[in-house]
């Protein structure tokens, strides 16, 4: 079955997000396709019948996202369990997940509409938090789980276990447990490796560890990582995909395991992963800027 119904989600705080939403909507309508807008961008462009994200995802064959990586991370959280293809149009800065530039928006989507694209099933993690005073229902992340010192002025102490076996006690600013997708986010800044996004694994990266021998570890995708907070002072937090934050108390545990759900991201049909990686990291040449943008 071909792509006939397209949903548009946009970060309304991005400059010109409304303008480009209208451009794409009209371009798609001219081709006889049905277009549905998420409620926030619908309100901004003055369109009726905007939809919430889960309803939108259940009604369409493809979602186009205008924004940066944060916009896709928020969308992935809200539509967990609905395996709808997503293509990101980069209106942010770095944008590893938003692979299509504004200047090539319509040419890329035209190829996607003809079936000329590759879809990647990106691994997600399920996270649960338990303690004497805290019990958070399972949440899903696409990028990472960060357990950090928050507003605490000293290092935190964390016990880490893999499949119930003791790994080590980290004395550090915190730790990051990331997916391959998240390996190019905060984990990379902490000295973690770049992991090919189609792989299935977890990366555990300590943040500014007291012991110089504490190094990032790549773990099999099927393990269960449990982290217990030993620090007695308040202020330690766990942050999911940089979007949702919870306070931790002494003795609380954070359990992280591979999720049965995935996020379906469409790769740019105009360039391969290696070119995107070179461009984003500035390997061998400067990143291209959004000059003389003519999206359609």
Instruction: Domain 124-260: give its CATH superfamily.
Output: Probable inorganic polyphosphate/atp-NAD kinase; domain 2 (2.60.200.30)
**Position of tokens 């190829």?**
111
Q: How confident is the model at residue 15 (pLDDT cuts 50, 70, 90)?
A: confident
Residues of each domain in the chain carrying CATH 2.60.200.30: 124-260
* Active site annotation includes 69: yes
Mean of pLDDT over the chain: 91
Local confidence band at 289 (pLDDT 50, 70, 90 cut-offs): low
Mean pLDDT on 216-220: 97
- Cα 40–44–49 angle (5° rounding)? 60
The active-site residue, picked from 26, 30, 61, 69, is 69
Closest by alpha carbon to 146, among 132, 134, 158, 130?
Answer: 158
274: exposed, middle or buried (Cβ count in 10 Å: 0-12, 13-18, 19+): exposed
186: its two tokens: 């905060």
Give the tens place of pLDDT for each residue, 43-96: 999 998 899 999 999 999 999 999 999 999 999 999 999 989 999 999 866 678
The token pair at 265 is 């991201």
Is the confidence at residue 292, as pLDDT, over 60? no
Mean pLDDT of the 120-135 span: 88
**pLDDT tier for residue 284 given thresholds of 50, 70 and 90:** confident
pLDDT value, residue 175: 97
Task: Give this prediction's pTM.
Answer: 0.89
Q: Which of 127-131, 217-221, 263-267, 291-295 has the lowest mean pLDDT?
A: 291-295
The answer, yes or no, to whether residue 287 has pLDDT greater than 60, is no
Q: How many CA atoms lie within 13 A of 121 on its CB side?
A: 8
Rg, C-alpha atoms of the chain: 20
Measured over the CA atoms of residue 30, residue 31, residue 32 and residue 38, the dihedral's sign is negative
- Per-residue pLDDT, 276: 82
**Mean pLDDT within 90-113:** 87
| CATH 3.40.50.10330 residue window(s) in the chain | 5-118+267-281
More confidently predicted of 152 and 110: 110
Q: How confident is the model at residue 138 (pLDDT cuts 50, 70, 90)?
A: confident
How high is the pLDDT of residue 213? Answer: 83
Q: Is the per-residue pLDDT at 188 higher than 80? A: yes
- Whole-number pLDDT of residue 157: 96
Q: Does domain 5-118+267-281 have CATH number 3.40.50.10330?
A: yes
**Residue 154 pLDDT level (bands cut at 50, 70, 90):** confident
**What pLDDT band is residue 134 in, cutting at 50, 70 and 90?**
low
């Amino acid at each position: 079955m071909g792509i006939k119904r397209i949903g548009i989600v946009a970060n309304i705080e991005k400059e010109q997000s409304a303008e480009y939403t209208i451009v794409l909507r009209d371009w798609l309508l001219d081709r006889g396709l049905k277009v549905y807008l998420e409620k926030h961008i619908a309100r901004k462009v003055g369109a009726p019948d905007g939809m919430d994200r889960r309803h939108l995802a259940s009604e369409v064959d493809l979602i186009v996202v205008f924004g940066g990586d944060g916009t896709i991370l928020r969308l992935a959280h809200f539509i967990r369990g609905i395996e709808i293809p997503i293509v990101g149009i980069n209106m942010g800065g770095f944008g590893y997940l938003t692979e299509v530039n504004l200047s090539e928006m319509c040419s890329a989507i035209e190829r996607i509409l003809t079936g000329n694209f590759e879809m990647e099933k990106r691994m997600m993690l399920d996270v649960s938090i338990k303690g004497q005073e805290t019990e958070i229902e399972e949440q899903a992340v696409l990028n990472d789980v960060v357990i950090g010192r928050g507003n605490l002025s000293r290092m935190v102490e964390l016990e880490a276990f893999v499949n119930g076996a003791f790994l080590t006690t980290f004395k550090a600013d915190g730790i990051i447990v990331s997916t391959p997708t998240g390996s190019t986010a905060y984990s990379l800044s902490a000295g973690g490796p770049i992991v090919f996004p189609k792989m299935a694994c977890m990366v555990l990266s300590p943040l500014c560890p007291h012991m110089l021998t504490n190094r990032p570890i790549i773990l099999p995708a099927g393990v269960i990582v449990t982290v217990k907070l030993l620090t007695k002072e308040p202020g330690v937090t766990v942050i999911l995909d940089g979007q949702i934050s919870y306070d931790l108390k002494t003795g609380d545990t954070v359990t992280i395991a591979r999720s049965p759900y995935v996020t379906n991201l469409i790769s740019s049909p105009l360039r391969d992963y290696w070119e995107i990686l070179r461009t984003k990291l500035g390997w061998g040449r400067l990143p291209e800027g959004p000059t003389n943008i003519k999206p359609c």
